[in-house]
Amino acid sequence: MTQFLEQIINGLVLGGIYALIAVGYTMVYGIIQLINFAHGEIFMFGAYFAFFCVTTLGLSFWLALPISMLLCALMGMLIDFIAYRPLRNAPRLSALITAIGMSLVLQNLARMIWTAKLRKFPVETRPSFLVANKIILPGGAQLSFLDLFIIVLAIGLMIGLNRLIYLTKIGKAMRACAQNKVAANLMGINTNHVIAVTFAIGSALGAVAGVMVGLREVVEPTMGYYKGVSAFAAAVLGGIGNVTGAMLGGVILGIAEVLGAGYISSEYRVAIAYIIMILVIIFRPSGLLGKSTATRA
């Protein structure tokens, strides 16, 4: 029982991280039908930006997190501006290939700047409040403050994102663009502006995930590929284009991966998560929640 509870916690943390990344994939897809493969690399850069802030600049972790979010938001918008905007009316395949190219460029850029060495946040730069404390749950299972913080932060950001999409003007504009870009444009919505904001929000959330993974695990140039592919699978599982679906998909995939490794076979840890995804896709080709275009945003 203790073990089961601890595994569920591991799964929720991983799921929260996947969800944070997956919404970035799904929001962009919802609006411009582009699978932004460079998103995993933005997640990785988020981790490196925070790492750079706390080590080279000597800033506190709590300052490094928002700085990293801001930088990644800018980076997301910049990528959209230079790589995707010129292809807005080109065939979808061109944009997809560009996205893959962008991903490779960014991954190798990180390797050139920081080398492939695994980097851990130095002990003195870690927020001691989070890493030193843990809660002992009834039954003896432990929950570290860091894990709790990641889960709470992920839930908070997801609720915030949901409110943003459904209650604010920019959210309304995003939903309008998702439904019909041309019509939205005719109604006076600056679609390029809305798309840029979408990239910024998705990238900032990806940065949060990156910083958390960097803190909990390690920072390295290929982390974006590994976690990014799983998060993309989560977005597909939930129904690509659907934000709530991405959150749900992330949590399901995270828990499936951890329980699969813990109780079935750790040799097939990732495979188990993908089998679940494939099964869902077979029976619901548009994913768990992805059906009508009206819910896309």
Q: Which of 14, 44, 71, 246 is the binder for other proteins (CB under 8 A)?
A: 14
Q: Which of 88, 111, 126, 291 is the binder for other proteins (CB under 8 A)?
A: 111
Strand partners, 119: 219
Phi, psi angle pair for 157, to nearest 5°: -65, -35
CA distance 243 to 235: 8
Residue 99 CB, shortest distance to other proteins, in Å, is: 20
User: How many chain residues are in contact with other proteins, going by CB under 8 A?
Assistant: 34
Q: Which of 6, 43, 202, 204 is the binder for other proteins (CB under 8 A)?
A: 6
Rg (CA), the chain: 19
- Sequential DSSP letters for 214-230: HHHS-B-TTHHHHHHHH
Q: Choose one: 31-39, 58-66, 238-246, 259-267; the region binding other proteins (CB under 8 A).
A: 259-267
CA distance 150 to 178: 30
Site for other proteins in 137-196 (CB under 8 A): 142, 144
Q: Which is nearer to other proteins, 128 or 265 (CB)?
A: 265
Angle at 247 between CA 135 and CA 178, to 5 degrees: 155
* DSSP state, residue 119: B
Strand partners, 291: none
Site for other proteins in 124-143 (CB under 8 A): 142
CA distance 94 to 22: 22
Over the window 221 to 240, marking each residue x when it contacts other proteins by CB under 8 A and - when it does not, the resulting string is: -xx--x--------------
Q: Which of 32, 171, 220, 243 is the binder for other proteins (CB under 8 A)?
A: 220
* DSSP state, residue 108: H
Q: Write out the residues near other proteins by the rule CB under 8 A.
A: 2-3, 6-7, 10-11, 14, 111, 115-118, 120, 123, 142, 144, 213, 216-218, 220, 222-223, 226, 257-258, 261-263, 265-267, 269-270
